[in-house]
Copies of this chain bind each other. A is one copy, B any other.
Amino acid sequence: MSMRTQRISEGILYTDFYQLTMAQLYFHSKIHIKRAQFEYFFRHYPDYGSHKAGFCVNAGLYPFIKWMKSARFDEEAIGLLRAHKGLCGKRLFGDAFLKWLGREDFLSSVSVRAVAEGRIVHAGTPIAVVEGPLAEVQILESSLLNHLNYQTLIATKAARVKEACYRQPVLEFGLRRAQSRGANAGARAALIGGADFTSNTGVSYALGYPPKGTHAHSMVQAFIALGQSEIDAFRAYAELYPDNCILLVDTIDTLESGIPNAIKVFRELRKRGHEPAGIRLDSGDLAYLAVVAAKMLDEAGFPDAKIVLSNKLNEIVIWQIISQIKKEASKYGVDTDSLITRLLYGVGTALITSEGSSALDGVYKITALKDGGKWQPAFKISESAEKTINPCRKRLWRIYDRRKKAVADLLALYEEEVSGEEDILLRHPTRSAMKRVLKAGEIGYIEPMLEDIVRDGRSVYDFPSIDEIRRVRNRDLNALDDGVKRIIEPHRYHVSLSQRLWEVKQGLLNSFGKRDMD
């Protein structure tokens, strides 16, 4: 991609065209600088078909804010808009509007509150809240959704994989099946959500993680085509990487050729004073082969050699492999726990594309507009109660019980005081009949979830490192009930409205002529 193409296609014009035509409409109607608040939330957890998520891992905030801080209507972008002709051949964007877009202080009064990356987040809760001049925050929509939807989707998938494999090391292998440069965002999100390493070299270095990998079948094939054999390829590899030697054993025949040859080379390696790192299995019945490989390696005196599994893995396949290992290992005299803790997992397509659920349905909706010095709720009724938005400027609270487990997320009005000192009435977001009281005595503590990220255009937040984000993710996962973490048919986590917010919403529904939310 040329520098010009990259500038144009990744800068401020990285947006849907209608954001610009709407922005001009607001400008024309003189409501462009009215302060508006938009909320980012997703409606459904990823549903992969045979399995689905009960939580998401928040990601993408840092890349979005980075984009926002540098995206400006420079002369090039303005020039492109100025040259844009509508259907009748007339210019679509007027000079006054373009001048307003191109001014120095564009976005300088925009504020962002958001949930930190790595945190567990739930359907129907505000995860990012953008406040600023209506026309400006409208333009931010597409890029915000683009960054947050995808990275949250992938961090979530990675967390599921990591949980399914008993938190053994997970390697992200998806570069070749990603949406072009999306591979880099996907690798970052995977590292946040649960992957320990990625094979994607550039992004690894950029993020300060060492890239990882083994070797491909083509290496063995190249040696064979040159009249040599699998063991020659293995020997050459072991000689060059004596302390990092993981051999891919399925190019010819895993049990008859690959593992026996690997063991021979491992013995030679040990004689030279090096311990082999392990083997990789990339085809066949991975559970069965892992058991037999473990037995062969054990008997040959390499009980510490790791076994990397790859080939169309996802959390369900991994779960099934581990279940099968639990059944079969003892039949071969292999210790189940030792085997499970020597496994590593290379996950490609299923992780980088979130196979089965290829997009998070996150949306960015206007919830309030300031008029005459007062915030007015913005509202949209929908045929389905679920799609009817929760209006007003809000705060998001997470309520923990005395076991320190998260029991509910509570949406409340911005100005509402919420504390664990008193009983809390939790209202169902859409069903009036459903409410429950959380007794003060049952509440461990209450945590505000939205943090100030940008205030009036200035960063007021120290973005944490990937390592810190991972710690946050693990802490939040540990505070989540196992039922919510189930990889199939998870228990539904509670998201509730405060009584006051519920009353405002009900009032708006009434004013639109809907008797009830149901």
Residues of A bordering B, CB below 8 Å: 1-2, 4-5, 8-11, 13-22, 24-26, 28-29, 31, 34, 36, 38, 63, 66-67, 80, 84-88, 90, 92, 134, 138, 141-142, 145-147, 149-151, 173, 175-186, 199-206, 210-219, 221-222, 224-227, 236-237, 239-241, 243-244, 251-252, 277, 283-284, 349, 352-356, 358-360, 362, 365-366, 368-369, 371, 376-383
Contact = CB atoms under 8 A, between A and B. Distances in A.
B205 A26 contact: no
A86 B11 CA distance: 38
Contacts of A378: 218, 221-222, 224-225
A237 B25 contact: yes
A338 to B, nearest CB: 20
Contacts of A5: 206
Contacts of A24: 240
Given A180-B150, A201-B16, A349-B358, A86 B283 contact: no
B241 A180 contact: no
Given A222-B369, A244-B92, A358-B349, A18 B176 contact: no
A186 B181 contact: no
B369 A225 contact: yes
B222 A371 contact: no
Contacts of A225: 366, 368-369, 371, 376-379
B244 A87 contact: yes
Contacts of A368: 225
Contact of A18 (B26, B199, B251, B371): B199
A479 B218 CA distance: 36
A203 B9 contact: yes
Given A201-B20, A236-B28, A241-B92, A366 B222 contact: yes
B17 A212 contact: yes
Contact of A22 (B17, B20, B219): B219
